[in-house]
Each structure stands twice: as structure tokens, then as C-alpha cells.
Amino acid sequence: MLGTTVTLAFRAIMRHKLRSFLTTLGIIIGVAAVITMTTLGNGATAAVREQISSLGANILQLRPGQGFGRGGGGPRPPDFKPEDVTAIAQQITGVRAVAPQAQSSGQAIYEGNNWNTTVNGTTASYFEAQQWALESGRLFMPEEEEAGKPVCIIGGTLRRNLFRQEDPVGKRFRIKGVSCQVIGLLATRGQGGFGQDQDDVVVMPIKFVQRRFTGNRDIGLIMVAVDDAYETATVQASLEDLMRERRRIKPGDADNFNVFDTKQISDTLTGTTTILTQIVGAVAAISLLVGGIGIMNIMLVSVTERTREIGIRLAIGAVANEVLLQFLVEAVVLSCLGGLIGMFLALIASIAIAPLMQVPFIFDWQINLLAVVFSAAIGVIFGYFPARRAASLNPIDALRHE
């Protein structure tokens, strides 16, 4: 009986192809929107996680101020000193590497080519903390760091725009009027956290940058890499206690520095992206309900049009449940067809849009299956009332219907 009922449902659908398509359009749009938004949201979440992880694993960033900025309303908090870096390396247990940073920017020039880039003054520990390998060349020598020699390691973006196809190692270029010799080329990393191009950088010994660019011994950022065998939270607590002591902060007073755990930043941004994805998906799912209402309306019209057919079936022996099942199956078939078409369109849309958004395409079979099952449930829910109405018709009245 079920096979016959499904056959009758398909015949009824094919009899009015355009009407059937317009009926399923709401389901198609709803399923396609839900799957596409969720897929792109998952890709955005993965992209955020990857960008934050590029800052380094188990990294604590120590900055002056109470946020990413300097804070407002009060005096400018003091920067860190080289002695703070030494104290962290010697007094904090569980530290794998400590890398101070003093940053500037300027225009790099080489044989008629020029490029504005970021100058990062640091030590060789920076590459250990970031776990950033070299494509060619070497790192700073201890004597070069101590003397503040004009040597540098450059990123791929600067190499591409300044040296074109040449091998930059061993070449000299000028930046902010200062000549610098390239001793190394960093491996490509691409976009980092907050959309920053990590490869657009010149890394120099921090003493050279402080002497020629910033004009002071101040350190704006200290990167602390935590050993994998230690808990990051424990090391962070010890680091905060040490900084409060060295910066002479009284008990009860607020810190004039902050410590960022890259993992916490990743978790926060990932959680925010996930919530936004869920909200957008929920809004898109409303169109599924609209599609369900459309199915109910068309099924009611179908019941009215086929009243005599229903009367004949009931007169020759069909029971009410068989009539109910026929119209219910027809509604479910419409919904399932809409769901499958919507899933196919969502797959095409996601593959096309993901590269434009610069996020990875992540196929989630669970959300695809859930969307199709939900569309079938919509057919059951909104198709039951018209089917029940058809099954409750009086055979005599149905046969008299014109």
C-alpha cells in the first residue's frame, strides 16, 4: 500500500510541475540558506582559529596598558625595560623562550624598488618562540645582537616586492635611510591574527632598532613561550606577580600591564564566530517555516480540486487512513525534494563563495542531513492538516462536489 501511495503522490506532483516547483521553492531557499550560512560560518571559525594559532602555540604576550591599546583617561603606562626580559627568563619557571620586541615602520628601498613595511626589533629567541623557520640564510649571531649590527631577516612579502626574483640573502637595502644586510629569509606564513600580513616584516636586532629607529631602550611587547610540560595559567600567574613587583604596583591597585594568552584569544573569537553562525542559521531557518506554510496552502488547494477523486476512493472501499496517508506522503515528498535540491544548491554556493571570503570549505554531513530531515518534518507537520481534512470528507458530499 505504501508503494502505491508513493506512486500516486509522484503522479500528482508531476501533473502540476510548475505549481509543485513553486510549492517547494520556500523549502529549497530555506535549506540552501541554512546549509550555506552554516558551512561558511564553520569555515570562518576555522580561519580565525588558524590565524590565531599562527601567533604561536602556548604564547603569552605581555603588553603595557590594560588592553591592546594604552588605555585612556590616565597617564601613559610605562613600557618594559631590558631588565624585565632578563628577570622573566631567570625567575619564571616553565618559560621556553622570551623575546622582547620594539617595533617601527618605514620605507625600504632597493635599486629603484620601494615598499613600506614593518620593522620588528627582537632577538633570536623570537623565532624559537614563534616556531618560525627560515627558508634560507641564518639567524642573528649572539655578537650581532649584543652589538646591534645592521643585519636583518625579511619576510616573503618584502622579498617579493623589493627584490623581485633575486635571492635577497647577502644583499643590502636601505630602510628609513639606514643600510641593512639581509642574512635570512623567513618561511611564508600568510595572514596572521586580525588580518595582518605576517610576511611583510623586517626583523632586526632589537638594540639596532632601539638605537636607530625608536631612540630609546623601551620595549613595547614581550613574547613569552611556555614549555609544553607546564600549565600556561600557572606561568601566567607567576608572570603577573613578577611584573607587579618589578613595576612597584601596590596591593589593591590595578595592573598597568596585561598578559594575553593566544589560546584564550582563539577560544573567544572562535566562540563569537560560532554564536554568530548559529544566529544567522536560525534566521535562515525561518524561511523553512515559510516554505511549510506554502506547502500547507497548496495541499489545501489540492484537496479542494480533488474532492471528487477522494469521494470515489472512499466509495469503492478506501479507508480514511489511506486517504490521509496519500496526501501526507505527497506533502513529505514535496518537502524532501525541496530539501535535496536545496542541499545541492548550498554545496555549489559554498564552494563558490568560500574562496571569495578567503575561508576554507568544510563539508559537514551532519548539518546537511539535519536540514533534509528537518525539511521532511516540515512536510509532515504542515501536510497533516490538509491530509486530515481530505480523510474526513463524507463520500456522498465529495461525489456531489462540482
Rg of the chain over Cα atoms, rounded to whole angstroms, equals 33
- Distance of alpha carbon 328 from alpha carbon 385, whole angstroms: 9
Confidence (pTM): 0.60
Q: What's the number of CA atoms in the CB half-sphere (13 Å) around residue 248?
A: 1
Reference 326, options 280, 389, 264, 265; nearest CA is: 389
**pLDDT tens digits along 190-209:** 765 555 778 899 999 999 99
For residue 178, what are the β-bridge partners? 175
Separation CA 368–CA 357 (nearest Å): 21
Tens digits of residue pLDDT in 304-355: 766 777 677 667 766 677 777 777 787 888 888 888 898 999 999 999 998 8
Q: Phi, psi (5° rounding) for residue 135?
A: -80, -35
95's grid cell: 618559560
Q: Taking residues 67-86, what's their average pLDDT? A: 73
d(CA 205, CA 142): 10
Q: Do 310 and 320 touch, CB atoms closer than 8 A?
A: no
Return d(Cα 149, Cα 136) in angstroms, integer. 20
CA angle (85 as vertex; 82, 88 as ends), nearest 5: 150
Q: Residue 160: name the closest of 104, 117, 106 by CA.
A: 117
Q: What does the pLDDT look like over 106-161, one tens digit per residue? A: 899 998 888 999 999 999 999 988 888 899 999 999 999 999 999 999 998 999 99
Q: Given phi > 0 = left and psi -120 to 50 = alpha, else beta, which region is 190?
A: left
> What is the bridge-based pairing of β-strands 172-175 and 257-261?
unpaired
Phi, psi of 61 (to 5 degrees): -105, 120
